[in-house]
Amino acid sequence: MSTTDNASTFPLAMEGREAVEAATREGRELTPTERIIASVEAYTPQEAAERTLANEMLADTRPGTREPLIINLGPNHPSTHGVLRVIVELDGEIVRDVTPVIGYLHTGIEKQCENKTWWQAITCVTRMDYLAPFANIHAYTLGVEKLLQLDIPPRAAWIRVLLSELNRLASHLVFLGTSGLEMGAMSVFFYCYRERDEVLDLFEMVSGERMNHRYFQVGGCAQDLPEGFIPRLQALLNILPGRIDEYEALLTGNPIWQDRLKGIGVIPAEQLLNLGVTGPTLRAAGIPLDLRKSQPYSGYEHFQFDVPTEITGDAFARYLVRVREMRESIKIMQQVLDGLPEGPVIADDRKVVLPPREELAWSMEALIHHFKLVTEGFMVPEGEAYATIESPRGEMGCYVVSDGGPKPYRVHMRDPSFVNLQALRPLAKGGYLADLIAVIATLDPVMGGVDR
Amino acid sequence: MALIPPPGAPVRRSGRTDDTIDWDLRDPEALEAAHGILTTTVEKAIAWAQTSAIWPATFGLACCSIEMMHTLSPRLDMGRFGAEYFRGTPRQADLMIVAGRLTQKMAPVVRHIYDQMLEPKWVISMGACASTGGVFNNYAVVQGCDKIIPVDVYVPGCPPRPEGLMEGIDVLRKKIGFNGQTPSSELIAERRREREAFMAAAAAAEAAAAAEAAAEQAKGGQPN
Amino acid sequence: MSAQINALVPGAVVEEHEALGELTIEVTADRILEACRALKDGPTQFSRLSGVTCADFPDQPGRFRLAYHLHSIQTGSRARLRVWAGGLDPEVDSVTSVWAGADWQEREVFDQFGVRFKGHPDLCRILNPLDWDGHPLRRDYPIGGEDVQFTDAV
């Protein structure tokens, strides 16, 4: 079955037609984005050849005199970090304008959470930003604990810090690997995934899953760290600095890497702040905003670490910031391991937290609590809360609204990639098409978080 | 291009017409039972070539795509099975691994890419979301990619371990190797329909001929 | 805080309360843009807009309750600005002229709830397909999906 010669069988061109239909149905004008989407006509190869010939015969070939070429990158493309569609207006090789179109991974997670109990919603929320599942559930559980006014024991807080930093490391390893792949440095991909496999083994020891964990529980952590976890983590922390040195030896001084990334994608830091960008992108532009330092949560105030900042704000700076953050994460994890306090890993409030399994054998009250919690779930008092954490991509916030029932009334996750991706347009304008790929790679969006 | 069926429409549980859907091809007996035709040496050779170099199309959607990338990692190395070369264009690929949740907005794009692939082509539905909609039973997620494309192997998990995906590819290789040069499930179904239509037409023709002969007999036998 | 806002934008603040360590200020829908400008440029220095969200309360007269989460890097304080957008034809001024980062977030609120933003440069659907009918996160919009046998919890 070949693609027929009718442009109306191309789904991305159809989206434009549907936008026009929807607009006429509602009796309104097309918005700029809809207009751009509608201008993407998918041509068969024959049509495209004819158009190019006609275009070239009509116009001058100097840059700026030709009709702009509008091409469609994605949503299925080897280097768009997931299902991101970018409509690029090109003048030769120079990018005149960029329109990101998202929504190809919109899963309705926020709506799904409204139908689940407060516990079950953790499993939905964790699949949002799939490279930082611990960050998702950290923000959510912090929000719910705020509503419940529940204090978590110190051991739970330190374990949360440990796993959040391990997650940051794993996420930055993916950034490094996939960025390398997109820039053409394929070996880095294999090295980073070798390390990431070790980290995912640790996650599997702790939560039972390599990804999409449901380990942080409302009130602390679902279970204690298993035996053998700490020696294994310590062994990994011993070899990691050497491995990161390997990556830096491959990339940081590499003239090809520097040429690809230096000077690419620079806009003033105030504009980034105004756009709502957070995370390594903002820190690479000179604004040292890190929520672990400015509003410490979950015990981060006990740890000594630096916040890597650069001033150039280009793609190379973003790369450097992330590599240095990996080293800082190792430092934090070492401090956690050195001083991990003993004690319970989950709060004591039986109205919210399951009783220990052994108690069910001899305590009627524990049995009733267990029954109520598992069948009905716990009630959260009416109110609203907004909890923010520093995820590997920036500020992750969770806005929870409760109506006093066992299910969330509204859960909104303020995902950093969603807001950061707005900066793609100013960052990529004026550069080459290949630099657009570099910009997307160093912006590090995760489409699960963008589309939710 | 919303794919929500209108209210009252029958819900299609699966787009598959192949009756081997419930057979677990890891079971050696089921494997034997699925053995449809005797394979010749040439067909065996073709199957060997196809299974040794299945080139997937890059089609990672969500979390499962990360685990798919982990099958390329040094620990598991899908390159051993010839499947390392992820093609950028579907025209050059013969396997599509739908890795991740398929949403309403993305569905026409998936179908379009499947259509662009050339025969023979196979589809692995990786993960719970691609197989059945997974954790997300709501307005935005298509409840299984088999609603729009025919699937050969389902790999369950959320996300499945990379070893799980490798086993899925292994099962697919057995499936290919078995029927000789296996075209896509669509073509198999079409050929079966044609064969059945032909057999039905032949049977009807025979029945008509027999009825005519019987009428002839009766008529011939009457006037005496 | 409300005293400061009242000084800059008289008559805008409806109520202010602090709960769970968070400051919530409710303003009237027609003064939201002025209030945001005052909060950004004034002594409160809320240079960052953390998020724009909405919650649907069908039995309340205002129905759609928008929440703007503000963050000041200089002082480190956070605040929440709440606005009721109204039930039929909800419309509110867009704050993209104050913080450019509100762009896609307002588009998301429009897509999921149907609240229009006056003065938004590009108000169209962002998450759902462009010709989608309805606004999914409203309380009266069904969850959708398929019927599943043997379970009543979705």
What percentage of chain A carries pLDDT values higher than 70?
Answer: 95
User: Among A146, A399, A414, whose Cβ lies nearest the Cβ of C20?
Assistant: A146
C-alpha to C-alpha distance for A413 and A392, rounded to whole angstroms: 15
Dihedral (CA of B87, B88, B93, B98) sign = positive
> Which of B3, B68, B71, B73 is the mutation pick for testing A, counting most A CBs within 10 A?
B73
Contacts 24+ apart (CB under 8 A), A66-72: A66/A91, A66/A92, A68/A96, A70/A36, A70/A39, A70/A40, A72/A12, A72/A40, A72/A42
Mean pLDDT of B94-108: 90
Note down the domain range covering C21: 2-118
C-alpha to C-alpha distance for A219 and A346, rounded to whole angstroms: 5
Q: Which residue of B has its CA nearest to C145?
A: B138
**Can you give the pLDDT at residue C55?**
92
How far is the CA of A443 from the CAs of A257, A292, A429, B75, in angstroms? 16, 20, 14, 28
Whether A63 maps to a domain, the answer reads: no
Angle at alpha carbon of residue B9, lines to B7 and B12, rounded to 5°? 125
- Helix (H) or strand (E) holding C108, with range, is helix C102-113
Q: What is the mean pLDDT of chain A?
A: 88
pLDDT tens digit sequence for A287-315: 999 999 999 998 899 999 999 999 998 99
Q: Using 50, 70 and 90 to split pLDDT, how confident is the model at A48?
A: confident
Looking at A102-106, A357-361, B21-25, B70-74, which range is the least confident one? B21-25
Which residues touch C74 (CB under 8 Å, ≥6 apart)? C45, C47
Whether A314 maps to a domain, the answer reads: yes
C-alpha to C-alpha distance for A153 and A349, rounded to whole angstroms: 11
Whether C138 maps to a domain, the answer reads: no
Mean pLDDT of A71-95: 84
- CB contact under 8 Å between C133 and B2, yes or no, is yes
CB contacts, 8 Å: A397 with chain C: 50-51, 69
Q: Is C148 on the interface with A (CB under 8 A)?
A: no
Residue C61, pLDDT > 60, answer: yes
Total number of residues shown for chain B = 224
Residue A327's CB: how many other CB atoms inside 10 A? 17
C-alpha to C-alpha distance for A380 and A285, rounded to whole angstroms: 41
Q: Using 50, 70 and 90 to split pLDDT, how confident is the model at A30?
A: confident
pLDDT tens digit sequence for A259-282: 989 988 899 999 999 999 999 999
Q: Domain tally for chain A? A: 1
Mean pLDDT of A1-9: 48
Angle at alpha carbon of residue C147, lines to C146 and C148, rounded to 5°? 110
Identify the residue with better confidence: B40 or A220.
A220
Q: Which residue of A has its CA nearest to B139?
A: A108
Q: What is the mean pLDDT of chain C?
A: 85
User: Closest Cα to residue B42, out of B34, B33, B50?
Assistant: B50
- Helix (H) or strand (E) holding C32, with range, is helix C32-41
Residue B16, pLDDT > 70, answer: no
Largest CA distance in chain B: 91
| Cα-Cα end-to-end distance for chain C | 43
**Can you give the pLDDT at residue A65?**
64
Q: Using 50, 70 and 90 to split pLDDT, how confident is the model at C76?
A: confident
Looking at A48-52, B3-7, B157-161, C85-89, which range is the least confident one? B3-7
How far is the CA of A188 from the CAs of A21, A178, A264, A393, in angstroms? 47, 8, 21, 20
CB contacts, 8 Å: B86 with chain A: 78
Identify the residue with better confidence: B140 or B7.
B140
> Tell me, what DSSP letter sits at residue A346?
B
How far is the CA of C66 from the CAs of A197, B181, C55, C141, in angstroms? 42, 60, 7, 18
Helix axis angle, B63-71 to A186-207, nearest 10°? 110
pLDDT tens digit sequence for B155-204: 999 889 999 998 888 888 877 765 444 455 666 677 677 778 878 888 88
Residue B11, pLDDT > 70, answer: no
> Which residue type does C144 have?
G
Give the C window 55-84 contacts with B, CB below 8 Å: none
**Can you give the pLDDT at residue A215?**
92
**Can you give the pLDDT at residue A3?**
41
User: Closest Cα to residue A439, out of A239, A267, A189?
Assistant: A267
C-alpha to C-alpha distance for C40 and A270, rounded to whole angstroms: 13
**Can you give the pLDDT at residue C5?**
63
**Can you give the pLDDT at residue A82?**
84
C-alpha to C-alpha distance for B173 and B170, rounded to whole angstroms: 5
Residue A145, pLDDT > 90, answer: yes
Q: Say which residue the tokens 């968070």 belong to.
A: C22
Count contacts between B and C (CB, < 8 Å).
Answer: 36
Helix runs in A280-423, H state only: 280-284, 291-294, 315-339, 364-375, 416-420
pLDDT tens digit sequence for A165-207: 999 999 999 999 999 888 888 889 999 999 999 999 999 999 9
How far is the CA of B16 from the CAs of A348, B22, B146, C16, in angstroms? 51, 11, 7, 59
**Can you give the pLDDT at residue B223?**
53
Q: Domain tally for chain C? A: 1
Which residues touch A372 (CB under 8 Å, ≥6 apart)? none
Mean pLDDT of A342-346: 90
Domain containing residue C60: CATH number: 3.30.460.80
CB contacts, 8 Å: C131 with chain B: 1-2
Residue A282's CB: how many other CB atoms inside 10 A? 28
Q: Is C153 on the interface with B (CB under 8 A)?
A: no
Structure tokens at B171: 């099962």
CA distance A420 to chain C (A): 9
> Which of B72, B105, B119, B186 is the mutation pick for testing A, counting most A CBs within 10 A?
B105
With 0-12 / 13-18 / 19 or more C-beta atoms within 10 angstroms meaning exposed / middle / buried, residue A98 is buried
C-alpha to C-alpha distance for C141 and B84, rounded to whole angstroms: 44
C-alpha to C-alpha distance for A11 and C17, rounded to whole angstroms: 50
Specify the 3-state DSSP secondary structure of A186: helix
Specify the 3-state DSSP secondary structure of C109: helix
Whether A138 maps to a domain, the answer reads: yes
Identify the residue with better confidence: B109 or B32.
B109
- CB contact under 8 Å between C101 and A277, yes or no, is yes
C-alpha to C-alpha distance for A80 and A447, rounded to whole angstroms: 10
**Can you give the pLDDT at residue C18?**
83
**Can you give the pLDDT at residue B222?**
56
Whether C13 maps to a domain, the answer reads: yes
Note down the domain range covering A348: 114-422
Please, are residues A387 and A422 in contact by the beta-carbon 8 Å criterion?
Answer: no
Structure tokens at A106: 């919109």
Q: Which residue of A has its CA nearest to C119?
A: A31
C-alpha to C-alpha distance for A243 and A330, rounded to whole angstroms: 12
pLDDT tens digit sequence for A402-412: 998 899 999 99
C-alpha to C-alpha distance for B173 and B81, rounded to whole angstroms: 10
CB contacts, 8 Å: B62 with chain A: 82, 105, 107, 127, 130, 447-448
Whether C50 maps to a domain, the answer reads: yes
Which residues touch A358 (CB under 8 Å, ≥6 apart)? none
Q: Which residue of C has its CA nearest to B107?
A: C129
Domain containing residue A251: CATH number: 1.10.645.10
**Can you give the pLDDT at residue C86?**
83
C-alpha to C-alpha distance for C132 and C109, rounded to whole angstroms: 15
> What string of DSSP letters covers B112-123?
HHHHHSPSS-EE
User: Among C49, C53, C126, whose Cβ lies nearest the Cβ of A276?
Assistant: C49
**Can you give the pLDDT at residue B224?**
47
Q: Which residue of C has its CA nearest to A289?
A: C73
**Can you give the pLDDT at residue A170?**
94
Please, are residues B23 and B34 in contact by the beta-carbon 8 Å criterion?
Answer: yes
Whether A430 maps to a domain, the answer reads: no
User: Closest Cα to residue A385, out of B182, C122, C22, B189?
Assistant: C22
pLDDT tens digit sequence for B129-162: 999 988 898 899 999 888 888 888 899 998 899 9
Q: Which chains touch B (3 or more CB pairs under 8 A)?
A: A, C
Q: Using 50, 70 and 90 to split pLDDT, how confident is the model at C154?
A: very low
> Which of C126, C146, C154 is the mutation pick for testing B, counting most B CBs within 10 A?
C146
C-alpha to C-alpha distance for B116 and B92, rounded to whole angstroms: 9
pLDDT tens digit sequence for C129-149: 888 888 999 998 988 888 777
> What string of DSSP letters covers A28-69?
-PPPHHHHHHHT-----HHHHHHHHHHHHHHS--STTTSPPE
Q: Which value does ipTM take for this structure?
A: 0.91
| Cα-Cα end-to-end distance for chain A | 34
Total number of residues shown for chain C = 154
Looking at A2-11, A143-152, A341-350, B139-148, which range is the least confident one? A2-11
**pTM for the predicted model, two decimal places:** 0.85
Residue A235, pLDDT > 80, answer: yes
> What string of DSSP letters covers A121-178?
HHHHHTTSSTT-HHHHHHHHHHHHHHHHTPPPPHHHHHHHHHHHHHHHHHHHHHHHHH
Q: Is C73 on the interface with A (CB under 8 A)?
A: yes
